A and B are shown apart, each in its own frame.
Chain A
Amino acid sequence: MQPLNMCINTQTPLVQFTAAQAPRSGRRTIAPVDLATLTEGVDYRYSPGGVTRMVLPLVRHMLHDQILDEAHWVALNPNAPATVRMSGMTLHSVTLGPKRMASYGMVKEAIWGRVHGIDDTDYHDDLLWTEAFSEYAYYNRITSELIRKLDKKHDFDVFYIHDFQQIPIGHMLTTLKPKIFRWHIPFDRSTIPQHWHALLATYLNSYDAIVVSSPRYADSLKAFGYTGRIEHIYPYVDPKDYSDPAVSDVASVSERFGVKDDDIVALVVARMDPVKAHDRAIDALAELASSFPRLKLVLVGNGSFSSSRDGVGLSKSSRWRAHLEEMVKRSKLEGRIVFTGHLSQHDLDCFYERCSFTILPSVREGFGLVVVESWLHRRPAIISSRAGIADLVREGKNGLLFDPDEPGALARQMRRLLGGHPTELSKGLIRGGSLAAEKCSVEAAVQAERALLTEVMEA
């Protein structure tokens, strides 16, 4: 296969710019900005977690392995220059006014809530007929128009569209070139309202191939009526992105957040969002608090791009954090629970090193890459059975599973790692986790994606 020129589309941008670099209203420069001339942490930062965290290493490896010749990445980024160049890649920004952004955000949250099964209100059955939905269509149409213009200029070989927010793009983009869609969140036919089926099926069937994170989503997608090629590829991370921090760094970061040397740390790495179910972890700590007085729960993460003021601007994360803080107060757990907010990769690595085990408490989760991060740091993980990664977990061999809706289930699994003889169990889980992590490495993904591209291009 000849090296390809690929157009990638995500909602969340790869790079978010600080106010100083953001173009003033109506003053978006046409000339591309070279990222190498700016300073990370000062002028810009990489979007944490989620889709971009996964796609970036893949693109880098594909460029390195000459599967890709060039990559253009289109994303919603109102506070960014129109075009940004970085090694091998060009980033293109889509911009949306605040009013349209609010409506778009409302629709995407409603879709997200229903697909994750956390919002079963009838109100959203008519979502596709609302005025807000017309703004959702507007956002997707301006994105597809930008992609079309770029295609005229760069003559892409393939379009790779990521995540549910962008799903109409395949239908809007009138091209005979291959279109691949990656569905990152859970796909369970039973959670999708009947009134959405026809439109969603039209959108899905506009893609030549759809990639999902779990075999169970593939089955559901087939049952939904998707007739194209379905590929199951585990989400992935690049192990090289994770460091083993120095002992002194771990001590200093722990001290900064009030974690003492003799504390036992249970770590939750998840953005502040009800679906991440931090409340289950707080409940479990409340149950174990008196038996394990040195046990502390560290919650790392704040809002996503959708919650950020520079992004979609939804206030969901601050509401959820306030709810959790209230819960901590009510349970008299002050001092036992640490909210760190967003951490740099280095500080996060320090907490992975410092913790005894990690918890993924989500009530629903497309996959759960933080579990892979935990395995890479050789820490055992307790995992919600509702997460896509649960497919990879063999109970007691590489992880401990629990049902987030079963009262006491998480506390029971935590107790197994805290009391009795945790060492043998932990060692086994770490060994098993390391093996499972290999399935979620970027090298494995590059192979799978190369095979998919070859099949789609030559079909």
Chain B
Amino acid sequence: MVDLYATLWSFALAGLTLLLTWAFAMLASWLIGRFMRQSSPQVTSGARRLGAVVVWLIGSILAIQELGVSPLILIVVIALVGIAALIAVREPLGNYGAKYFTDVYTPFKVGDAIRVQGYAGKVIAINAITTVLLTDNEQLISVPNSVFITDVVVNTTPQAWKEVTIPISIGPSIDLPAFESELLKNLSKLKLRLDRQFPPLLSTKSRTPQSTDLTLTVMLRRPEERDAVTVEVNKRVAEVLERTRTNRR
């Protein structure tokens, strides 16, 4: 009888731990979002996800401990699988990681003409591993994404300096029309810093039932304001995302 109560008590504690984990994960995600308001929405959303995963990992280990099972085995299994995965997919993972950063920080996009490592061409695709260039004599050149982190890239597209593209991922909790409308309204306040002939443009890149990937394009008026404008636009995107999410709730 005592054993039964003890078992039930352990399960209750494990349940409570998971409940608290959920609350902490939400809190961590929100705090990271607040803290990284000036970063790119895509980086912020990745960091929020990572924060939540870490909290869940810790919470799950604690919950398992409450059930009287040693968490050591679980930690060892996770570590071994992680190391094996890292060794097995080191190269593609590097490129994948680089893609994540080039998406946000490298100043080119599909359609631009670029030069890198002695190759020049029009960017026709950027996938998880490589960026594909089409040369003037119709050759395809595949450049690993990691190259864009380590090498000098020249964007030869006319007026490329003007263009700032900001990737944005929104989940199903965000109403796209309301978000876009709010964002355009908000960004119109920056019109003195942006090229009047190119109003902000939101484009849909891809959609899944879970998320919609968008690109916000703004054109600068002065090249020296690139960083300041990018930070300000990122901040405004984050604010509008938060507001639209709250309004939906």
Report A's interface with B, CB cutoff 8 A. Answer: 126, 128-131, 133-135, 137-138, 141-142, 145, 171-172, 174, 194-195, 197-199, 202
Output the least CB separation between B159 and chain A (Å). Answer: 11
Is the pair B197, A202 in contact by a Cβ cutoff of 8 Å? no
Query: Is B43 part of the contact surface with A, judged by Cβ < 8 Å?
Result: no
Mark interface residues in B164-191 (1 if CB within 8 Å of A CB, else 0): 0000000000001110111111001001
Mark interface residues in B186-212 (1 if CB within 8 Å of A CB, else 0): 001001000011110101111100000
Is the pair A129, B188 in contact by a Cβ cutoff of 8 Å? yes
Chain B residues in 8 Å Cβ range of A141: 176-177, 180-181
Q: A129-B196, A195-B197, A198-B198 are in contact. Are A138 and B181 (CB under 8 A)?
A: yes
Assembly CA distance A195 to B195 (angstroms): 9
Is the pair A174, B184 in contact by a Cβ cutoff of 8 Å? no
Is the pair A134, B176 in contact by a Cβ cutoff of 8 Å? no
Assembly CA distance A133 to B182 (angstroms): 11
Is the pair A145, B207 in contact by a Cβ cutoff of 8 Å? no
Which of B185, B191, B198, B205 touches A134 (beta carbons < 8 Å)? Answer: B185
Chain B residues in 8 Å Cβ range of A199: 198-199, 201
CB closest residue in chain A, given B188: A129
Q: A172-B204, A174-B207 are in contact. Are A137 and B184 (CB under 8 A)?
A: yes
Q: A141-B180, A141-B181, A172-B204 are in contact. Are A134 and B188 (CB under 8 A)?
A: yes
Q: A195-B197, A202-B201 are in contact. Are A138 and B178 (CB under 8 A)?
A: yes
Which of B181, B203, B204, B207 touches A137 (beta carbons < 8 Å)? Answer: B181
Chain B residues in 8 Å Cβ range of A197: 197
CB closest residue in chain B, given A175: B204
Is the pair A194, B201 in contact by a Cβ cutoff of 8 Å? no
Chain A residues in 8 Å Cβ range of B178: 138
Is the pair B177, A129 in contact by a Cβ cutoff of 8 Å? no
Assembly CA distance A174 to B185 (angstroms): 23
Assembly CA distance A137 to B180 (angstroms): 8
A-B pairs, 9 with minimum CB distance: A141-B177, A138-B181, A134-B184, A128-B199, A134-B185, A174-B204, A134-B181, A129-B188, A142-B177
Chain A residues in 8 Å Cβ range of B199: 128-129, 133, 199
Output the least CB separation between B37 and chain A (Å). Answer: 22
CB closest residue in chain A, given B205: A174
Output the least CB separation between B194 and chain A (Å). Answer: 9
Assembly CA distance A133 to B207 (angstroms): 25
Chain B residues in 8 Å Cβ range of A195: 196-197
Assembly CA distance A134 to B188 (angstroms): 9
Is the pair A131, B188 in contact by a Cβ cutoff of 8 Å? yes
Report B191-243 residues with CB < 8 Å from chain A CB. Answer: 191, 196-199, 201, 203-207
Beyond the given pairs A131-B185, A134-B182, A137-B180, 12 more chain A to chain B contacts, judged by CB atoms under 8 angstroms and listed by A's residue number, are A126-B196, A134-B180, A135-B181, A138-B180, A141-B177, A141-B181, A145-B176, A171-B203, A174-B205, A199-B199, A199-B201, A202-B201
Chain A residues in 8 Å Cβ range of B206: 174
Chain B residues in 8 Å Cβ range of A145: 176-177
Output the least CB separation between A197 and chain B (Å). Answer: 7
A-B contact pairs, 30 of them (CB 8 A): A126-B196, A128-B199, A129-B188, A129-B196, A133-B188, A133-B199, A134-B181, A134-B182, A134-B185, A134-B188, A135-B181, A137-B180, A137-B184, A138-B177, A138-B180, A138-B181, A141-B176, A141-B180, A141-B181, A145-B177, A172-B204, A174-B204, A174-B206, A194-B197, A195-B196, A195-B197, A198-B197, A199-B198, A199-B201, A202-B201
Assembly CA distance A171 to B203 (angstroms): 7
Chain B residues in 8 Å Cβ range of A135: 181
Chain B residues in 8 Å Cβ range of A138: 177-178, 180-181
Chain A residues in 8 Å Cβ range of B185: 131, 134
Assembly CA distance A126 to B201 (angstroms): 15
Output the least CB separation between B46 and chain A (Å). Answer: 23
Assembly CA distance A138 to B177 (angstroms): 5
CB closest residue in chain A, given B217: A202
Is the pair B184, A133 in contact by a Cβ cutoff of 8 Å? yes
CB closest residue in chain B, given A138: B181
Report B31-86 residues with CB < 8 Å from chain A CB. Answer: none
Chain B residues in 8 Å Cβ range of A198: 197-198
Assembly CA distance A172 to B204 (angstroms): 7
Output the least CB separation between A196 and chain B (Å). Answer: 8
